[in-house]
Chain A
Amino acid sequence: PAALPPAPLGFTDVNLNSRNTYEVSRRRSAPEHLPHGGTAPAEPAPPPQEPAERARHRLGIAGAGSSFAEFFTRNFFTKRTKELKPAVQSAPGWKLFGKVPPRENLPKDSKIIQQEYEARTGRMYKPPPPSARRKNIEFEPLSTTALILEDRPANLPAKSVEEALRHRQEYDEMVAEAKKREIKEAHKRKKIMRERFKQEENIASAMVIWVNEILPNWEGMRATRRVRELWWQGLPPSVRGKVWSLAVGNELNITPELYEIFLSRAKERWKSFSETSSENDIEDAGASVADREASLELIKLDISRTFPSLYIFQKGGPYHDLLHSVLGAYTCYRPDVGYVQGMSFIAAVLILNLEEADAFIAFANLLNKPCQLAFFRVDHSMMLKYFAAFEVFFEENLPRLFLHFKSYSLTPDIYLIDWIFTLYSKSLPLDLACRVWDVFCRDGEEFLFRTGLGILRLYEDILLQMDFIHIAQFLTKLPEDITSEKLFSCIAAIQMQNSNKKWAQVFASLMKDNKEGDKNHSPAPKS
């Protein structure tokens, strides 16, 4: 590096942020600026004492007779400068790094500049003694502690006692602060562990109660206060599927054998579908055939778009075929409903918690509930009723937010469609969605809308600050860090009571004045 002039003044504002490595090496390759100071965009030549002093202190570099610059070239930038050397020698190095604007009196060889500089400062570049160099090479500033403890460079005047004391004190304070933080964090970790442990204990004991007491006496106990309360706390994962199955019921009397029949029918159809190309559809039945084919295509398309982050439903994933089977069998079982987007999420959640045939049975029965049927058939007027009922409780529970939304003509369909179609499994984290499903199985459709209000309540303060587009964006893509404790306490605070009328009654009365026209209640932007 003999070609590189020592440039001690250039490094005054260097600190150890890695980002600055480039900065520094860039300057290093453009040492021409330094002697001239002033105009260069790199820092102006500083008064030699002050900032340089500070930087050195921060770095705590053991100069050991060598120059400050030498330290840098040796330790941080050895490789870099080696690469640059030829360029530096042949042409003004800084030209290579287009970011530095050229100055007027350019074409100066770096050697000349070095000589000028040396002449001016009266210092000659001398390679440091080998021992000192080795020491520098060994020194690796891995942490600030190491840096601070390093002795003050020998070529610098000693600190004043006052300053030394102050620095020592500052250092001690930093260490104390770090220790305090560490202790605090350890406490926090312990607390989290304790809570997790307690949670696990709760789950374990709840599981025993569910398995030994409740499940054997399901019909007798399911409506008791104690069971309902336990239910609200969340079902233990090991009994979750079972409880869901029982709660959803099997009104449709589907047996595993029936599932097999529909599944084999679906498989036949896939086979014939893949054999016959789309060319030969008969004109008359065209629409329905095309629709059904589209349905099958759509299932394929959607399966890979269901919980993509879990990597289990995608092609080649362990549950890919299962999800395909359940959805395919359903389109054969209910051709009147067919496959509708959103279904894949529901089936997927069930598959995660139940055996294949049981998942299908729960799926078919779940979709047969009035609310789900209305949505999946995309019965628009019924959906509007649900939205209107939702708005009644919205206004009751969150009047300010309700008015805020109204002022932007922000209607509930914008966020509710996604929430209701997928039963929150797309919009909430999966574990939280499962907890919503728990209580949905207990309370029915009402809980879906109550959950929606709980979400609005949870984020009420934020939403009140937002305009239309931000609210819409926020609600169709909820924060991922939403926690079950917070959400469920917000849901619990939502009263599903409107002047003594419960959800079902409000909904029924909305259905009644159906005939009178839904102008007043039409929430869709379709007035």
Chain B
Amino acid sequence: MGSAEEDYNFVFKVVLIGESGVGKTNLLSRFTRNEFNHDSRTTIGVEFSTRTILVGDAVVKAQIWDTAGLERYRAITSAYYRGAVGALVVFDITKHQTYDVVDRWLKELYDHAEASIVVMLVGNKTDLAQAREVPMEEAKMFADNNGLLFVETSALDSTNVEEAFETILKEIFHKVQKQKQRSSQSNTVSLASESPTSTAPAQAERRPCCVAL
């Protein structure tokens, strides 16, 4: 662990949130290990995964925090939003209830994360099209109205999983680039908006360009 493959220019902390059972853990395992597990175990607290991708010619390491979806755990898990530069708010297109509460998840997120966080709404389980309860147009409109990226995925058959993560990572990357330009104009190079120890600790790793928005 922690070896030469760890050559990256940026570390982006991204959180996965949403109701229990919408498939957060499988989305993540599909993206980071190309695995899907019909009986994945309940996530309790938080689990972690990483994957390094190329954005332009920058090497970006996504550090993804997969949080438990249980309502009761939110007191704990919301603390994990701090320092995140991206969030995937996941719902299950076959369960309207998981979409109805997206609002609450967003509020929770904005209460605890930085305002500039890039958020993507993800409708998962498109492989179960015949059981769809949330029309795509509806979710898309909601996303547009709330300034969220939007994509529908299937962790089971891999549809759009790669795209979802890549899109959000690119978006974060561009945001960071813009911010960097701005800060270099004003001649204050601030890589983190807060002191590096109080924000996501992972972003303060050896590398020079770890970023918080």
Residues of B within 8 A of A298 (CB): 20-21, 70
CB–CB A383/B45 < 8 A: no
How many chain B residues sit at the interface, stated as a range, is 35 or more
Q: Which residues of the other chain, A, contact B49 by a CB distance below 8 angstroms?
A: 473
Chain B residue at smallest Cβ distance from A378: B72
How far, in whole Å, are A294 and B206 apart by their CA atoms in the complex? 44
Q: How far is the CA of A466 from the CA of B2 in the complex (A)?
A: 6
B205 proximal to A (CB < 8 A): yes
| CA A191 to CA B151, docked complex, whole Å | 57
Question: Which of A26-34, A215-223, A412-420, A508-516 forms contacts with chain B?
Answer: A412-420
Closest chain-B Cβ to A68's Cβ sits at a distance in Å of 42
* A378-B72, A414-B45, A476-B45 known; A314 vs B82 contact (CB < 8 Å): no
- Contact in complex: A314, B39 (CB < 8 Å): yes
In the bound assembly, the distance between CA atoms of A418 and B21 in angstroms comes to: 17
CB neighbours of A470 from chain B (8 A): 1-2
How far, in Å, is B65 (CB) from chain A's closest CB? 9
- Given A278-B97, A467-B2, does the pair A408, B79 have CB atoms closer than 8 Å? no
Residue of chain A at shortest CB distance from B42: A305
Residue B31 is within 8 A (CB to CB) of chain A in the complex: no
Contacts known (A305-B41, A418-B45); A341 close to B73, Cβ less than 8 A: yes
Cβ-defined contact, A378 with B44, below 8 A: no
Q: Mark A445-468, 1 if CB is under 8 A from B, else 0.
A: 000000000000000001001111
CB neighbors of A among B108-151 (8 A)? none
A192 at the interface (CB under 8 A from B): no
B189: Cβ under 8 A from any A Cβ? no
Q: Point out the residues of chain A lying under 8 angstroms from B2, CB to CB.
A: 465-467, 470
Bound together, the chains give a CA A490 to CA B68 distance in angstroms of 30
**Other-chain contact of A306, B42, B47, B71, B75 (Cβ < 8 Å):** B42
In the complex, whether B186 has a CB less than 8 A from a CB of chain A is no
Q: Is B70 touching A341 in the complex (CB atoms < 8 A)?
A: yes
Q: Are A526 and B79 in contact (CB under 8 A)?
A: yes
- By a CB distance below 8 angstroms, the chain A residues around B46 are 414, 417, 476
Interface contact B1-A378, CB-CB below 8 Å: no
Over the window 19-43 of chain B, the binary record of Cβ atoms lying under 8 Å from chain A Cβ atoms (1 yes, 0 no) is: 0110000000000000001011110
Number of A-B contacts (CB under 8 A): 107
CB distance from A193 to the nearest CB of B (A): 34
B75 A380 Cβ-Cβ under 8 A: yes
Q: Are B50 and A473 in contact (CB under 8 A)?
A: yes
* Most chain A CB atoms below 10 A, which of B76, B198, B201: B201
In the assembled complex, B63 has its CB within 8 A of some CB on chain A? yes
| Contacting residues of chain B (40-95) with chain A, CB-CB under 8 angstroms | 40-42, 44-50, 63, 68, 70-73, 75-76, 79-80, 82-83
Contact B45 A468 (CB under 8 A): no
> Contacts A341-B20, A378-B75, A408-B201: A526 and B44 contacting too (C-beta < 8 A)?
no
A527 touches B198 (CB 8 A): yes
Least Cβ distance of B18 to chain A in Å?
14
Is the CB of B202 closer than 8 A to any CB of chain A?
yes
> A304 with B39: in contact, given A421-B44, A476-B47, A527-B198 (CB under 8 Å)?
yes
Residue numbers in B under 8 Å from A422 (CB-CB): 44
State how many angstroms separate the Cβ of A131 from the closest Cβ of chain B.
53
User: B71 contacts A294, CB within 8 Å?
Assistant: yes
> How far apart are the CA atoms of A340 and B205 in the complex, in Å?
35
B30 to chain A, nearest CB (A): 17
Interface contact B201-A410, CB-CB below 8 Å: yes
Contact across chains for A468 and B205 when beta carbons are under 8 A apart = yes
Cα of A278 to Cα of B100 in the assembled complex, Å: 13
Closest to B97 in A: A278
| A56 at interface by CB-CB < 8 Å | no
Please tell me which one of the listed residues B1, B42, B76, B206 contacts residue A344 in the complex, with CB atoms under 8 A apart. Answer: B42
Among residues of A, the one whose C-beta sits closest to the C-beta of B21 is: A301
Interface membership of A335, Cβ < 8 A = no
Within the complex, the shortest CB–CB distance from B105 to chain A, in Å, comes to: 14
Please tell me if A79 contacts chain B, counting CB pairs below 8 Å.
no
By a CB distance below 8 angstroms, the chain B residues around A308 are 37, 39-41
Whether A408 touches B202, Cβ cut-off 8 Å, given contacts A278-B97, A304-B39, is: yes
Within 8 A of B (CB), among A292-309: 294, 298, 301-302, 304-306, 308
| Contact A409/B197 with A301-B20, A526-B82 known, Cβ cut-off 8 Å | yes
Question: What residues of chain A have their CB less than 8 Å away from a CB belonging to chain B?
Answer: 278, 291, 294, 298, 301-302, 304-306, 308, 314, 338, 340-342, 344-345, 378, 380, 383, 408-410, 413-414, 417-418, 421-422, 426, 462, 465-470, 472-474, 476-477, 524-527
19 A-B pairs, CB-CB below 8 angstroms?
A: A278-B97, A302-B20, A304-B39, A305-B39, A308-B37, A314-B39, A340-B72, A341-B20, A345-B42, A378-B72, A383-B76, A409-B201, A417-B44, A426-B42, A469-B48, A473-B49, A473-B50, A474-B1, A526-B82
Given contacts A341-B42, A341-B44, 10 further A-B pairs with CB under 8 A are A302-B20, A304-B39, A305-B40, A306-B41, A408-B202, A417-B76, A467-B205, A473-B49, A525-B80, A525-B200
Which 9 A-B residue pairs are closest in the complex by CB-CB distance? A308-B39, A417-B45, A409-B201, A468-B202, A526-B79, A305-B42, A473-B48, A301-B21, A418-B44
